[in-house]
Amino acid sequence: MARSRPPGLPWSNERTAINHNYLGSVPDLITRSFPLFRFRGIQVLMHWSFLLLLGWVLISSLSAGKGMMQAAYQVGAVLIVFACVVLHEFGHALTAMHYGVGTKSILLLPIGGVATLERMPEEPRQELMITLAGPAVNLVIAAIVGMVLWLAGSVPNVSIMTEGPSNLFTLGVFLLSVNVVLFLFNLVPAFPMDGGRILRSILAMNMDRVKATRIAGRIGVFFAMGFVFAAFKWGNPMLALIGVFVFLGASAETRLVQEQRALRDVRVREVMRTKFWSMPATATVQDALAELLAGGDHTLVVMRDGDFSHLLTREELIAVPAAERHERSLGVLNGAKPPGVEPDAWMRTVHEKLMTGSWALLPVIEGGKLIGVLELDNLSEYISIHGTAQST
């Protein structure tokens, strides 16, 4: 049955793309990235825009009259910085693993790294340890490099940062400087950066988590405005990007925590949709596209012999060549098969599955039969109707 898609809260579909490193997911960014390597089951990805950063550094160096060798040093310096960023993110990820929290991926962007954890523990001390682990990695690297330089009788010169590593000594000085800067910068209490998360976790040890998040979020917005102001004052567009990132992240995560609290004592059957777009596996792609044009949802539930089979998105349907749409059935298309959830399950656990961004919706199964579906818009509408988020 075709049903027009209900409007959700304006932030509901944007949230996963703007969460700070290691919370939530970034599915849209990941689809535009390519894999580098995998360690301890964690895939490290590089976004295509990262190549633009390397190209810009190379061209800028050459345009400034520097030779190819010096330009290569500059590119190498950027790669060293991001190698330290990856180690920083693995600090978060491996510590989270210690607490039973998995990490889907680590994504490299021009403005930094994003470690996508499946969830963030609500226990303040666990969040504190996971958050501290990232900067601690940079501090350890800086301490080791600094000790080696001291034993070698070398005096660090931070001006070498602008020259790039050209030998072992300058490489050591550069590593020391980069990791000191990363350590200090990440301790800035601009939620949802590491420093802001540290602040939130400390506050949450003495007050309600929602209130602690709200306070940390307001401080994050203040720092975001400071980053943007500094960007205009010093002509540094990267600071402006960080400021926007912090502003959106602080606002979005404050809403996220409020939503989690609002759904704490709610069961799936109270939130699920019982009216959704479904068609039999024997229907053709053309049939589905006709319903889509008539006002259907963007995600189609395909049924086989009365049971849930798989999901097909609007994009997957449109991608079928026009010449094949009248002949190809929905059953032969490979779609997502998300795990079913029980109607009496608590929303606080199911919410984490939705927030991974792996599936457009989750089927609600009772007695082996599909009785409803669950998606992020449902949660937004439930909270909007009941006003729970505003009363917390």
Tens of each residue's pLDDT in the chain, 392 residues: 433 333 322 222 222 223 334 433 344 555 578 899 999 999 999 988 888 889 988 998 888 888 888 888 889 889 999 999 999 999 999 999 999 988 888 998 888 888 888 777 889 999 999 999 999 999 999 999 999 888 887 665 555 444 545 567 778 888 999 999 999 999 999 998 999 999 999 999 999 888 999 999 999 999 999 999 999 988 888 888 888 888 888 888 888 888 778 888 889 999 999 999 999 999 999 999 999 888 868 899 999 998 999 999 999 999 999 999 999 999 999 888 998 999 999 887 788 777 766 787 899 999 889 999 998 887 878 887 775 444 44
Give which of 206, 214, 195, 207 is closest to 132, Cα–Cα. Answer: 195
CA distance 181 to 138: 9
Give residue 1's pLDDT: 40
CA distance 123 to 110: 32
At position 196, the amino acid (one-letter code) is G
Give residue 116's pLDDT: 84
Q: Say if residues 355 and 25 touch (Cβ distance below 8 Å).
A: yes
Give residue 357's pLDDT: 67
Give residue 235's pLDDT: 85
Q: Say if residues 47 and 107 touch (Cβ distance below 8 Å).
A: yes
**DSSP H/E element including 364:** strand 362-366
Q: Say if residues 16 and 31 touch (Cβ distance below 8 Å).
A: no
Residue 377 CA, distance from chain mean position: 19
Give which of 281, 227, 220 is closest to 249, Cα–Cα. Answer: 220
At position 225, the amino acid (one-letter code) is M
Integer-rounded Cα Rg, in Å, for the chain is: 24
Burial class (CB within 10 angstroms; exposed 0-12, middle 13-18, buried 19+) of 138: buried
CA distance 24 to 11: 14
Neighbours of 104 (CB within 10 A): 21
The fold for domain 268-391 equals CBS-domain (3.10.580)
Give residue 43's pLDDT: 92
Residues in the chain: 392
Give residue 263's pLDDT: 82
CA distance 29 to 105: 11
- CA-based angle 10:11:13, to the nearest 5? 100
CA distance 312 to 124: 39
